Structure 1
Amino acid sequence: MFQSYKPNKKGNFEPESTWSLKSKMILLITLLILGIFILFTWFLHSFISNTIEDQVGKRALSVAKSVANIPEIRSAFELKDPASVIQETVAPILEETGAEFIVVGNQEGIRYSHPNSERIGEKMIGGDNTRALQNGEAYISQSEGSLGLSIRGKVPVRDNAGNIIGVVSVGFLSEDVQSIIANQSKSLWLTMIGIIVLGIAGAILIAYHIKKLLFNMEPKDISYLLLQKEAILQSTHEGMIAVNHNGMIIMMNKAAKQILFHEDKQFDQFSGKSINQLIPNTGLSEVLKSGKSQYDKEMILGNSIVIVNQVPVYMEGKIAGAVSTFRKKTEIEHVTRELQQIKQYANAQRAQTHEFSNSLYTILGLLQLGEHKEAIDFIKKKRNIQEEQSQILTQHAADPVVQGLLQGKINQANELGVTISIHPDSQLNHTYHGNKQEALITGIGNMLENALESVKDNQEGEQQISLFFTDIGDDIVVEVDDSGQGVSEEAAVHIFEQGYSTKGEENRGIGLALTQNIVQKQGGQIMLEEGEMGGACFVMIIPKNGGDSDE
């Protein structure tokens, strides 16, 4: 785990005491639940209170209307002592409805009925009879009377002619209403407290789960690791590409973009795109399907030859994606070409050593037999052949490196029983340097090597290779024709693809792809044509001007 630090008064750094992510999540989720609880409970309490008060008011108004429409109540107003009849009529209704009071008064507000009989004949208290007595309205009001604050239903009493003769007031004390509200809210509070407890328990479980998913790391630790990862990815010279299990790009560092596209593009241009559409033939799809890693694989990405390592990424036993790392072979390309040339020279030296050893044994045998004249003639013949070959190469190629390569290939062919003939019109009048020379040497060497591989397997026909080259015009043209089995139409489509080989062997199919890449960098091309000798004919064209610099 990473520890965060803060400076103290002396300027030194000491550990900073901070809450853990788990504690913060529990606290914040708990505060959120409490906040929602308070707001929701306040809303529900207010809603229940208003609803109950409204229901009580409507109930009071309903009872008041019923009392006001009782015929005995109406007719009692015409008697000398209305209270005697009205009080007896209202008393059972009061007991049945559970109202706190039912008061019937005349137009002056004098009571004809009251729960306390001693208050009959007194003026009604509250001052809220005006709308009923003057306007004839039936309504609900809240006012304080002789029994306390109450919710009242007010209804005017009319005679048979419709004239207002009194008022009925039915009321429920606010204390009783609040008691009902408290009883109703009790279950609400219990439910909400239960929800809070469950919410806190859920917050703890969520915090533990998220902490586990984050490998018990704190946010600052994750931020530091992300910054560290980004710094490592962007500072490394190796290109890196990561894809998910569907082959969609999820990460590409700066080096990868420069290798593939030779410019610094934004990652948003590639994020979420299929690796096969953006960069075909990377092999990442094979890694995702098979789950097998690929190491030190040589391939061409963009316009560069790279060495690629590709590994699958597993999560919970399943392939979650794959990562490809590759390095541009700017230096390695040069070393690789030099190694190929050294290999070609080594093969040539081996052939020369073998041939020289045979010649020595022949001379030794002749001397032991006393055939001194034949031995001398044999030596002269070998010297003449060597001088003739050197003279031919010198006449046809001005570049000593090309001469050395051709000499080695001719010796290698002689050892294999293959004849390499140089066309009499062949001529390289210029000496080339740098990238031009490397492209020329690599192309000639790989084309002759392929021709030797093809011809040596042809045991039935003649084993011959014809070589033609010229730089008389604006281009360097090299043509290699052989008497081998040739290339089928099906194979011709893929012959320049990296990794493809007519031999069907692993770790082959690099030479022609490498040659094509190097030649194209010089603005040239290599083509496969139908040969005159029955086999394959490869033609390489390299412009003398253009392409990469020779220096």
Structure 2
Amino acid sequence: MFHFHKPNNKRNLEPKATLSLKSKMIILISLLILGIFILLTWFLHSFISNTIEDQVGKRALSVAQSVANIPEISSAFELNHPASVIQEIVAPIQEETAAEFIVVGNKEGIRYSHPDPGRIGEKMIGGDNARALQEGEAYVSQSEGSLGLSIRGKVPVRDETGNIIGVVSVGFLNEDVQSIIANQSKSLWLTMIGIVVLGIAGAIFIAHHIKKLLFNMEPKDISYLLLQKEAILQSTHEGMIAVDHNGMITMINKAAKQILFREDQQFEHVSGKSIDQFIPNTGLFEVLKSGKSQYDKEMIFGESIVLVNQVPVYMEGKIAGAVSTFRKKTEIEHVTQELQQIKQYANAQRAQTHEFSNSLYTILGLLQLGEREEAIDFIKKKRNIQEKQSQILTKHAADPVVQGLLQGKINQANELGVTISIHPDSQLNHVYGGDKQETLITGIGNMLENALEAVKGNQEKERQINLFFTDIGDDIVVEVDDSGQGISEEAAAHIFEQGYSTKGEKNRGIGLALTQHAVQKQGGQIMLEEGEMGGACFVMIIPKNGGDSDEGQHTGSYY
């Protein structure tokens, strides 16, 4: 099983950068926060300044309009000394409104009122009266007068007939306005500085958390590991599929796609899809549920027979997914074929050794008893039986590999007290090679093995198996009939399913599934019929010219 562990920080795959990922994140996030702080503060300061200046201007204009509308002000313009009346009216208003100045002047700009009485009678300074005196507008302006730079409200003074006879100027010094703006902005700056401090603290926390999630690895280490692991996954000859805890594919390498899909199939994007959509009955869901690994399990993936290893992936003590690795059985077929033949030869030799040992003891006993003629007759009888059996196999099957398989199974049956009878009309006239020979050997071997299992529990006289095979027509037909208990209808519906076994034992139910797969790959079929001997009867049909091409197929001779 796989477990995720933190990598050793003391061994870096790549030289470290000048700044670590954590430092970079803190600096970049802090710079971002500072940039936003500067822009936002500048905007808010400008907004507050403009707002206050606008409010002060409107206030100055409102006071100027109130003064200009006082009847006594316009009436005073007709007096010989207007200032004496106007100054008395304006002074209390100025004090009440906290204006820096309220100046009333005539059309020539001569002052009739001023905060400094000594300047009454002098010309108004600023040069911003033209619009009020000439066009009769009421407006706000900013100009420098005798008291300094100020925001002014300008309103024309009219007589009873509506003619412009003067102007009222109400002002607030810019210095006082900026003082108000500074007081208002102070709380803004304190708030923004607090936000920046919290933002930098948040940047440190985020950087620390992300670095922890990345197992304290640097980006270059992660990218290097990713490239390295991707190269390993894609270069291996074994197919690999990884799924998450829901059975969704998270990774599949090139070898797996080649095994699962044909060349004409386009399955580039399989990540994020359920494994059952592509490989039914993989057993991965069982691994995810139980957490138990499966090793060297023979299964059918796509159109290939594969050997599968499946293990769970643990993360922080919980199952986070599973990984399945598999390889085509055909890639190690030469090894398995040799082992199969060795096993068959070993079974045959074991049976022959056992039988030969019994024969030797029998001959030894006869000689010790002085029955020389009986010993000679016994030897001749055994020799005739052996020659007859060899002649029967040679007569019925031209392929020496098939002969060896049948000899091994007959010897195995003799040990179990089972009789295998070859139908006298059976004949295989051709020697088959390649996949067709492998399919033929697999089919005959598995069907006879199942038949032996079915009849070995019977009484000795009832342990019978009949074998028939022929390739006279366009097909190779093999029929195995036994005297066992047979197969129920319920079991017959699942008998060719991978993993299903009538014995109810684990790691069984593979032989017939593999046989069906191999036969179907050759364009043939395997069927279950009711046997004439009361048991099961399996019939395998393989087209001689169907499926994969044969290597070295030729007509054999019986003699």
Which category describes the TM-score, using the shorter chain as reference length? over 0.9
Judge conservation of contact 1:243–1:275 (CA < 8 Å) in 2.
yes
Aligned partner of 1:508 in structure 2 is 508
CA drift at 1:158: 2.4
Return the offset for 1:372.
4.3
Give the superposition deviation at 1:467: 0.8
1:86-485 correspondence to structure 2 within 5 Å: 86-263=86-263, 268-459=268-459, 462-485=462-485
| Residue in 2 that maps onto 1:10 | none
Aligned counterparts of 1:153 and 1:185: Cα–Cα separation in 2: 25
* Superposed displacement of residue 335, structure 1: 2.3
Change (3 A) 1:167 1:230: same
Partner SS for 1:269: coil
Greater CA drift, 387-396 or 55-64? 387-396
* 2-structure distance, mates of 1:71, 1:158: 10
Are the aligned partners of 1:344 and 1:445 in contact in 2 as well (CA < 8 Å)? no
| Structure 1 ranges of 4+ moved more than 6 A | 264-267
Cα pair distance change 1:268/1:150, threshold 3 Å: farther
Checking the alignment, whether the CA contact within 8 Å between 1:341 and 1:442 is kept in structure 2 is: no
Deviation at 1:297, TM superposition (A): 2.0
User: What whole-Å deviation, never above 9, does each CA across 1:41-61 have from its counterpart, x for those lacking one?
Assistant: 111111111001001011111
Aligned pair count? 542
Shift of 1:478: 0.6
Give how far 1:302 is off. 1.7
Distance 1:111 1:19 in 2: 70
Task: Give the CA deviation at 1:377.
Answer: 3.8
Partner of 1:8: none
Per the TM alignment, residue 172 of structure 1 is displaced from its structure 2 partner at its CA by: 0.6
Moved more, 396-405 or 226-235: 396-405
Task: Decide whether the 8 Å contact of 2:420 with 2:466 is kept in 1.
Answer: yes
- The 1:120/1:222 distance shift into structure 2, 3 A limit, reads same
Q: Are 1:288 and 1:312, in contact at CA under 8 Å, matched by a contact in 2?
A: yes
SS at match of 2:462: coil
SS at match of 2:272: coil
- Give TM-score scaled by structure 2 length: 0.91
Identity of aligned residues (%): 88
Superposed displacement of residue 140, structure 1: 1.1
| Structure 2 counterpart SS, 1:401 | helix
One-letter amino acid of the structure 1 residue matched with residue 259 of structure 2: I
The amino acid across from 2:214 in the alignment is L
Match of 1:398, SS state, is coil
1:320 is paired with a residue whose SS is strand
Contact preservation (8 Å) 2:312, 2:322? yes
CA contact (8 A) 1:153 1:169 kept: yes
How far apart in 1 are the matches of 2:243 and 2:433? 42
Q: Deviations over 1:134-168 (max 9, x none)?
A: 22222111111111111111112223333322221
Gaps spanning 5+ residues in structure 2: where?
1-8, 552-559
Q: Counterpart of 2:206 in 1: which secondary structure?
A: helix
CA distance in 2, matches of 1:491, 1:155: 108
**Higher RCO (CA-CA < 8 Å; seq separation 6+):** 2
Q: Any stretches of 5+ residues in structure 1 without a counterpart?
A: 6-14
Note the alpha carbon deviations across 1:521-546, whole angstroms, 9 max, x for none: 33332222222222211111222224
Quote the Cα distance in structure 1 between the aligned partners of 2:244 and 2:400. 53
SS state of the match for residue 104, structure 1?
A: strand
Structure 2 match to 1:493:
493
CA distance in 1, matches of 2:459, 2:168: 130
CA contact (8 A) 2:418 2:460 kept: no
Kindly state the Cα deviation for residue 262 of structure 1 after the two structures are TM-superposed.
4.6
Is the partner of 1:232 in helix, strand or coil?
helix
Residue 294 of structure 1 and its aligned partner are, at CA, apart by: 1.8
1:9 is aligned to: none
Residue-by-residue CA offset, 1:245-271 (whole Å, 9 max, x unaligned) = 221111111111112225498875211
Q: Does the Cα contact within 8 Å between 1:252 and 1:267 map onto a contact in 2? A: no
Bigger CA drift: 328-337 or 212-221?
A: 328-337
Change (3 A) 1:4 1:126: farther
Tell me, in whole angstroms, the C-alpha distance in 1 between the residues paired with 2:399 and 2:359: 29
- C-alpha deviation, 1:307, in angstroms: 2.0
> Deviations 1:442-489 (Å, cap 9, x if unpaired)?
211111011010111234982211111001112111111112122222
Counterpart Cα distance in 1 of 2:342 and 2:382: 26
Letter in 2 for 1:339: L
Cα distance in structure 2, aligned partners of 1:331 and 1:290 = 31
Q: Is the 8 A contact 1:102 1:114 kept in 2?
A: yes
1:520 and 2:520 aligned: yes
1:24 aligns with 2:24: yes
Find the aligned partners of 1:339 and 1:525 in 2 and give their Cα distance.
27
Q: Note the C-alpha offset of 1:371.
A: 4.2
| Paired residue type of 2:41 | T
Q: Distance in 2 between matches of 1:17 and 1:222?
A: 13
Give distance in 2, aligned partners of 1:280 and 1:299. Answer: 11
Quote the offset at 1:127 in angstroms. Answer: 1.9
C-alpha distance after superposition, 1:308-342 (max 9, x if no partner) = 22222222222222111122223323322332333
Question: How far apart are the structure 1 equivalents of 2:449 and 2:341?
Answer: 11
- Tell which deviates more after alignment, 159-168 or 421-430: 159-168
Change in 2 beyond 3 A, CA 1:108/1:449: same
Give, in angstroms, the shift of residue 389 of structure 1: 2.3
Question: Which shows bigger deviation, 130-139 or 383-392?
Answer: 383-392
Counterpart contact for 2:420–2:465, Cα < 8 Å: yes
Quick one: distance in 2 between partners of 1:443 and 1:392?
Answer: 21
Please tell me whether the aligned partners of residues 417 and 460 of structure 2 are also in contact (alpha carbons under 8 angstroms): no
Which residue of structure 2 aligns with residue 539 of structure 1?
539
CA offsets per residue over residues 160-207 of structure 1, 9 Å max, x none? 333322221111111111111111111211222222222222212222
Conserved? CA contact 2:396–2:427, under 8 Å = yes
Tell me by how many angstroms 1:369 deviates.
4.1
Which letter does structure 1 place at the counterpart of 2:48?
I
Aligned to 1:166, the other structure's residue is in SS state strand
The one-character-per-residue Cα deviations of 1:113-140 (angstroms, maximum 9, x if unpaired) are 1111111122222222222222222211
CA gap 1:527/1:265 in 2 versus in 1, 3 angstroms: closer
Shift in Å, 1:100: 0.6
Instruction: State whether residues 305 and 333 of structure 1, in contact with CA within 8 Å, keep that contact through their aligned partners in structure 2.
Output: no
Whether the 8 Å CA contact 1:258–1:264 is kept in 2: the answer is no
Cα offsets for 1:216-245 (capped at 9, x unmatched): 211111111111111111111111111122
Q: TM-score, normalised by structure 1?
A: 0.92
Q: Is the 8 A contact 1:477 1:542 kept in 2?
A: yes
How far apart, CA to CA, are the structure 2 residues paired with 1:3 and 1:345? 56
After superposition, the Cα gap between the structure-2 partners of 1:201 and 1:180, relative to the gap in structure 1 and judged at 3 Å, is same
1:360 partner amino acid: L
Residue matched to 1:39: 39
